Structure 1
Amino acid sequence: MVKHSENIIVGVSIGDMNGIGPEVILKTFEDTRMLEICTPVIFANAKIVSFLKKSYNLNAFIQGIDKLDQIVLGKINVLNVWREGVNLENGKLDEEIGKYAIKSFQAATTALKNNQIDVLVTAPINKYNIQAEDYKFAGHTDYLNEQLEGDALMFMIHEDIKVGLITDHVPIAELSKHINSKLIEKKITTINRSLVADFKINKPKIAVLGLNPHSGDNGVIGKEDDEIVKPSLEKIFKSGIQVFGPFSADSFFGSNQYKNYDAVVAMYHDQGLIPFKTLSFGEGVNFTAGLNKVRTSPDHGTGFDIAGKNIANEGSFREAVYSAIDIYKNRIEYNELTNNPLKKASGKV
């Protein structure tokens, strides 16, 4: 396989095949314009993907391959990760299907580590049916954090709003045990670095939401904001990162304050994702920042309730592909500029 510099190899994990993942994947790449900017490689089984394509009355041409060195540029490649048939049932929570979702994801991650694909876009999985002896992770992010270099951070991105999380899949009852200065500093530093390298934002401005209602109201509603969050932000600001807050979360988005910042940092999952999805649903993207490789995902779940009905909107998955490609290119440009800035500025090679 001879790769052209502009043809990005996009690895795609199939997700839960009883959900809408395969549908939004195939609808995205049925548009031949997508194949002009990237070459998708779906990690699954060619016969199953062809069957699903027919069930959705799609015209996408499937190129089955057995090895990654057989990738055909400008085509929808399907790598045969397994050979056996699989019984699919739309909308059903099935542990067997969960095992195949993980087979696909792990194979795609290995290819990403080995530079056989450029970026990874993951279709939704169900966190319940993926649990097994060799896979005890809450989702994609924790596994990627173990397999790749760096510190993973859930970063929800959209053209108009970006939201990062200090904690992600942590029960509300345990939040205060996880919030500490070291974690806050690490996450905000990661977000700042990502804004610069991945999104080409010079000197980004970052807003941070308080942990408690009204950011604790001077200690009346919890002491964490005064004792942990505020001192952490002051220290980070002194280090040169433009970070502001903590802001009261209840009015921050409704008053459009978020528009004054390049990113917003939420203390926990729902504090950040509820407003993000409200403002961007259907176009938002889940990006795993902080790692040495690029991974994105749509901002929705498996969609069991509409699986098989051919009504799933592929918009978020398509945006996930676009975002992965853009971030990949931005990182290359950033690395070129920062690794040898004098030669780049003078035009020397």
Structure 2
Amino acid sequence: MSEKENKIKVGISIGDLNGIGIEVILKTFEDARMMEFCTPVIFGATKTFSFQKKVFKLGTNFVGIAKASEAVDGKLNIVNAIKDVPNVEFGQETKAGGTVALQSLKSAVASLKADEIDVLVTAPINKSNIQNEEFHFPGHTDYLATELEGDSLMFMISDTLRIGLLTDHVAVKDVAATITAELIEKKIATVEKCLIQDFSIRKPKIAMLGINPHSGDNGVIGNEDDVVMKPTIKKLFESGKMVFGPYAADSFFGSDSYEQFDAVIAAYHDQGLIPFKTLSFGKGVNYTAGLSKVRTSPDHGTAYGIAGKGEADASSFAEAVFAAIKIYRNRKDYKLLSANPLVKADN
């Protein structure tokens, strides 16, 4: 099979056009060598990209197409997916910005489900202005869980750290009640499968962080760790899964304990995201694990405060593109080997 036929089509949704999404997309693909790794297909509007290219004085070249199936290898392709293209208002939370973000996302997901693109990379949305009758979710992860097959899990990944979340966009007051033995078992199954098929780790070691400070101190600070966490982890370990914990979250990262594991499962959003972004910001990727399709995004938000100033760092977005490509290839290899265990690489 030729290199052209092997080229992975990376679909990209533009997020909030008043944030830094389009800027980091343009900066990522300003380097033409990116086209050697993939064929990018952006769901947006050439008018908006022309405007922002001029604002940021970038030399990124692109071509407009009507649908993803028309994507040209070696080019930055833009599917004109926006019905009414609004003016860009950098740094402003506008209803039009949310409408465009949803139109881009819906078009990209439709193409992903139709196999017109291979993977999806999403630029940041504003979780407030995107809300409407069609989108009533706290973020990309929950929306994609309804559109694609599988059990979704927010998985933050970098070269040195992988953190999954038991509960993602759940209010802190509801976290303890949300975490059940069934939820833990479901999330561990998702993480283990992901590590095996998406990251080529044959026997994953997984650490779980406690729900309460000091994992409850034997019931002194809450009993959820003793009643729910510990028995479930024991059951999983005895079934053959390499699951350990619960560990006290306050010292787990500072002591570099995370380096002993292939993944860490945090009980709630900030317990996992704060250490991840502290240790990996600018190099991290948000991966929606457990779904039938591959979706990644950068580890930052719309960054309204610097939007339009040309200061946005595209490193995390580029990492999201590379991660999607690598995971897609690993998953493809896993499926091939699983279908025929006797398949071996050519000597």
TM category (shorter chain) comes to over 0.9
Q: For the residues of structure 2 that align with 1:112 and 1:38, how far apart are their CA atoms?
A: 15
Q: Which residue number corresponds to residue 163 of structure 1? A: 163
How far did residue 47 of structure 1 move?
A: 1.5
Helix, strand or coil at the partner of 2:6: coil
Q: For the residues of structure 2 that align with 1:5 and 1:242, how far apart are their CA atoms?
A: 39
Note closer, same or farther for the CA distance 1:73–1:243 as it changes in structure 2 (3 Å cut).
Answer: same
- For structure 2, the residue ranges without an aligned partner over 5 or more in a row are none
Helix, strand or coil at the partner of 1:33: helix
Q: For the residues of structure 1 that align with 2:69 and 2:120, how far apart are their CA atoms?
A: 17
Q: Which residue number corresponds to residue 51 of structure 1? A: 51
* Alpha-carbon RMSD: 1.3
Q: For the residues of structure 1 that align with 2:97 and 2:144, how far apart are their CA atoms?
A: 21
| Alignment-mate amino acid for residue 246 of structure 2 | P
How far did residue 240 of structure 1 move?
A: 1.6
Q: Which residue number corresponds to residue 72 of structure 1? A: 72
How far did residue 151 of structure 1 move?
A: 0.5
Alignment of 1:42-191 (within 5 A): 42-191=42-191
**Counterpart contact for 1:288–1:296, Cα < 8 Å:** yes
Q: Which 4+ stretches in 1 moved above 2 angstroms?
A: 2-6, 82-85
Q: Which residue number corresponds to residue 227 of structure 2? A: 227
Q: For the residues of structure 1 that align with 2:143 and 2:17, how far apart are their CA atoms?
A: 20
Deviations, residues 194-230 of structure 1 (Å, cap 9, x unaligned): 1111001110111100000000100111110001001
Deviations, residues 299-325 of structure 1 (Å, cap 9, x unaligned): 000000000000100000000000000
| Alignment-mate amino acid for residue 174 of structure 2 | E
How far did residue 83 of structure 1 move?
A: 4.5
How far did residue 69 of structure 1 move?
A: 2.4
Q: Which residue number corresponds to residue 267 of structure 1? A: 267
Helix, strand or coil at the partner of 2:88: coil
Q: For the residues of structure 1 that align with 2:295 and 2:260, how far apart are their CA atoms?
A: 27
Helix, strand or coil at the partner of 1:251: helix
**Counterpart contact for 1:10–1:121, Cα < 8 Å:** yes
Q: Which residue number corresponds to residue 250 of structure 2? A: 250
Q: Which residue number corresponds to residue 313 of structure 2? A: 313
Deviations, residues 47-106 of structure 1 (Å, cap 9, x unaligned): 111111111111111100012222111100000012433121100000111011000001
Q: For the residues of structure 1 that align with 2:68 and 2:10, how far apart are their CA atoms?
A: 12
**Counterpart contact for 1:43–1:80, Cα < 8 Å:** yes
Q: Percent identity?
A: 57
Helix, strand or coil at the partner of 1:5: helix
| Count of residues paired in the alignment | 345
| Alignment-mate amino acid for residue 211 of structure 2 | L
TM-score, normalization: structure 1?
A: 0.97
How far did residue 36 of structure 1 move?
A: 0.8
| Alignment-mate amino acid for residue 63 of structure 1 | V
- For structure 1, the residue ranges without an aligned partner over 5 or more in a row are none
| Alignment-mate amino acid for residue 245 of structure 2 | G
Q: Which residue number corresponds to residue 192 of structure 1? A: 192
Q: Which residue number corresponds to residue 330 of structure 2? A: 330
Q: For the residues of structure 1 that align with 2:91 and 2:344, how far apart are their CA atoms?
A: 55
Q: Which residue number corresponds to residue 38 of structure 2? A: 38
Q: Which residue number corresponds to residue 300 of structure 1? A: 300
